[in-house]
Copies of this chain bind each other. A is one copy, B any other.
Amino acid sequence: MRNSTSAVVTPVPDAPFYRAVGDEVEVFRAAARRGLPVLLKGPTGCGKTRFVEAMAHQLGRDLITVAGHEDMTSADLVGRFLLKGGETVWVDGPLTRAVREGAIFYLDEVVEARQDTTVVIHPLADHRRELPVDRLGTTLQAAPGFQLVISYNPGYQSVLKNLKESTRQRFIAIELGYPAADVETEVVAYEAGIDIETARALVKLAYAIRNLDGSPLREVSSTRMLILAGGLAAEGLSLRSAVHAAVVQVLSDDHDVIRALDELVNTVLPQT
């Protein structure tokens, strides 16, 4: 356990393994120089968290990450009073800490959170760069280096859960996708600890699934799933068993679809 003041901060000591897909690094660094907030768009498992970790490391800043969910309230971000020894003591929330310390604050899956959590970031996301802390009767000016990053998956947008236009227009938007085959192969081999040939076979399979016509799948095979499959293979499972557990059974619960995917796996993967 880390000590109680380092909290949810990730100091990102070692350079994370990240391969750029487009000009996302340049755009992020330009936004960072100007203190502009960034919105990351992209599918599940394409590497959004890794990208933010890599940027935090390059810029030499702490990274504080929070995942949005339906029951998150603004107090979860800003802080609250706790009772300690008969006295109420204020405890900063993760957003307040990032504002005070000039860290990068990453709110993952922002559309899952309730609206009061998104409204609380508005004054931090425009020229004011300030955080009203109503319970303390105070407004904090963000320290230099503070940067707001939020992410969401456009494929999950719905009428009920989307980003308010008045929130969205405050952000610089960067779209991330799955990396090109060569880059993805390198990533899978490195992260799963497997040889390049096996990684290349997994990426080839992923592209076969991503290119299926009229696919009944809600999601395609992500880079993350390939890494998990590679990890099982590295532990001694056959590649087909590993892919069945980490890709096929994850992509569907329908027995017909599972059988079809297994056949595709048999066609694409090398016959060991």
A residues neighboring B (CB under 8 Å): 1-9, 23, 26-27, 30-31, 33-34, 36, 39, 41, 44-45, 49, 65-74, 76, 81-88, 91-94, 100, 109, 112, 114-116, 118-120, 122-123, 126-127, 132, 134-141, 153-154, 156-157, 165-166, 168-175, 191, 218-219, 222, 224-225, 228, 231-232, 234-237, 241-242, 245-246, 249-250, 253
In the complex where A249-B41, A250-B173 touch, is A218 in contact with B27 (Cβ < 8 A)? no
Q: Are B137 and A4 in contact (CB under 8 A)?
A: yes
Q: Are A246 and B7 in contact (CB under 8 A)?
A: no
Specify which chain B residues have a CB less than 8 angstroms from the CB of A33 in the assembled complex: 235
Give the docked Cα–Cα distance between A165 and B185 (Å).
23
Distance (whole angstroms) from the CB of A181 to the closest CB of chain B: 20
Copy count, this protein chain: 6
Specify which chain B residues have a CB less than 8 angstroms from the CB of A65 in the assembled complex: 123
Specify which chain B residues have a CB less than 8 angstroms from the CB of A172 in the assembled complex: 228, 232, 245-246, 250
Specify which chain B residues have a CB less than 8 angstroms from the CB of A8 in the assembled complex: 132, 134, 139
Q: Are A82 and B83 in contact (CB under 8 A)?
A: no
Q: Are A245 and B134 in contact (CB under 8 A)?
A: no
Of the candidates B5, B27, B44, B175, which one forms a contact with A165 in the assembled complex, judged by CB atoms under 8 Å apart? B44
Give the docked Cα–Cα distance between A100 and B85 (Å).
25
Q: Are A87 and B85 in contact (CB under 8 A)?
A: yes
Specify which chain B residues have a CB less than 8 angstroms from the CB of A173 in the assembled complex: 245-246, 249-250
Distance (whole angstroms) from the CB of A260 to the closest CB of chain B: 16
Subset of 26 A-B contacts with CB under 8 Å: A1-B100, A4-B137, A7-B139, A23-B241, A26-B241, A27-B245, A30-B232, A30-B242, A34-B232, A36-B231, A41-B249, A41-B253, A67-B122, A69-B118, A71-B73, A86-B87, A91-B137, A92-B137, A109-B119, A169-B219, A169-B224, A172-B228, A172-B246, A172-B250, A173-B246, A173-B250
